[in-house]
Amino acid sequence: MQKCQDVLSTFDSLPDSANVRQPVVEALFACSAATVWRMVKRETLPAPRKISPRINCWNVGQLRYVLMGSATECRTGHKKETRKRFEDNNQKAN
């Protein structure tokens, strides 16, 4: 748990290309592991990258984008626009 707290305390200084494991994602979104996977299934959270058979990680840049979009949705209520921007950025990256 200490490693997760260390990553959270330095999350803002991590480069967008960095990756974090599931406990960090759970802490960032204040949710359980099951909710993280439900969010991935609903496509409100990007799918993780598989770096080994038992290890998944999420891209910090993509998580920041979702967190920024969530804040925008709370202020403006424009969920569809945020989702469209997320999809457009994913298509550009591929």
CATH value at residue 76? 1.10.1660
User: What is the four-CA torsion angle of 15, 20, 48, 62, rounded to 10 degrees?
Assistant: -30
Q: Beta-carbon neighbour count of residue 52 at 10 Å?
A: 7
Place of tokens 């969920």: 79
Report the percentage of the chain scoring pLDDT > 90: 54
Which residues are CB-contacts of 18 (< 8 A; sequence separation ≥ 6)?
Answer: 59, 60
The total number of structural domains in the chain stands at 1
pLDDT in tens, 44-88: 999 999 999 999 999 999 999 999 886 554 444 445 555 566 666
Backbone angles phi and psi of 45, in degrees to 5: -135, 135
| Per-residue pLDDT at 26 exceeds 80 | yes
What domain range is 50 assigned to? 2-93
Per-residue pLDDT, 6? 79
Q: Are strands 55-59 and 19-20 parallel, antiparallel or unpaired?
A: antiparallel
Per-residue pLDDT, 4? 75
